[in-house]
């Protein structure tokens, strides 16, 4: 069974989630934006062996710690979709612009496509490509745990910004309605910022997507 724990990191309070399979205690870090000592301390305390880094997209608050973590623990970097390459290239400059600690570029070990799966111990995550906030944004879905790690696609009561270069509002709405909603109304999602919610609740009350 898949378990997870979410730790808000960086000045942007980005929800970094540590996922693990309780059969093997193999773990993954989703979006290591920073504050690596806190992430590593949690994994150690729980007896989790970190095996991979998963990225939803390559904004600085989600991946500034990726190069350091990958190097320190020799972890593969899985995702996002290659449409986010230009955000990886821009990392050193965006880190400066937003007052982050220095962030280094990295090379994903594996780019992800819509429909791919990622194996974590005995658990399988389904990958959906959900562009709109960034062109290469992906979402990780665990049908078994009824959870979706959606990065900055959808928030409780809001949606991701589309005013950055490469963002597109209509594309984002299509990603939400065509790729998230089919996971089911009772799916609990973990957004990149703020509290969890369910797709069903957002379909009723989120002003950007209510009634879709």
Residues of this chain that interact with Zn ion (CB under 5 A) are 59, 61, 152, 192
Looking at the Cβ atoms of 135 and 192, the one nearer to Zn ion is 192
Helices (H), 17-111: 36-46, 60-63, 66-73, 85-89, 91-97
Q: Are 197 and 180 in contact (CB under 8 A)?
A: no
Looking at the Cβ atoms of 26 and 61, the one nearer to Zn ion is 61
Sign of the torsion formed by the C-alpha atoms of 44, 195, 123 and 16: negative
Shortest Å distance, C-beta 201 to Zn ion:
21
Shortest Å distance, C-beta 152 to Zn ion:
4
Looking at the Cβ atoms of 58 and 67, the one nearer to Zn ion is 58
Q: What is the token pair recorded at 4? A: 């997870």
Taking the C-alpha atoms of residue 122 and residue 38, their distance in angstroms, rounded to an integer, is 26
Looking at the Cβ atoms of 61 and 202, the one nearer to Zn ion is 61
Shortest Å distance, C-beta 57 to Zn ion:
6
Shortest Å distance, C-beta 62 to Zn ion:
5
């Amino acid at each position: 069974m898949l378990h997870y724990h979410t730790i808000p990191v960086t000045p942007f309070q980005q929800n970094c989630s540590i996922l693990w399979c309780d059969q093997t205690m193999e773990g993954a870090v989703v979006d290591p934006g920073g504050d690596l000592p806190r992430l590593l301390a949690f994994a150690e305390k729980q007896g989790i062996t970190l095996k991979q880094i998963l990225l939803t997209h390559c904004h600085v608050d989600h991946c500034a710690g990726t190069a350091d973590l990958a190097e320190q623990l020799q972890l593969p970097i899985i995702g996002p979709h290659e449409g986010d390459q230009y955000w990886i290239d821009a990392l050193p400059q965006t880190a400066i612009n937003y007052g982050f600690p220095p962030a280094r570029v990295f090379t994903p070990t594996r780019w992800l496509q819509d429909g791919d799966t990622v194996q974590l111990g005995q658990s399988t995550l389904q990958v959906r490509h959900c562009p709109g906030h960034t062109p290469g944004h992906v979402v990780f879905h665990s049908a078994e745990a009824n959870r979706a790690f959606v990065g900055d696609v959808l928030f409780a009561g809001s949606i991701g910004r589309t005013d950055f270069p490469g963002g597109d509002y209509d594309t984002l709405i299509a990603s939400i309605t065509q790729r998230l909603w089919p996971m089911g109304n009772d799916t609990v999602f973990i957004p990149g910022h703020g509290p969890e919610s369910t797709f069903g609740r957002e379909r009723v009350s989120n002003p950007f997507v209510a009634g879709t």
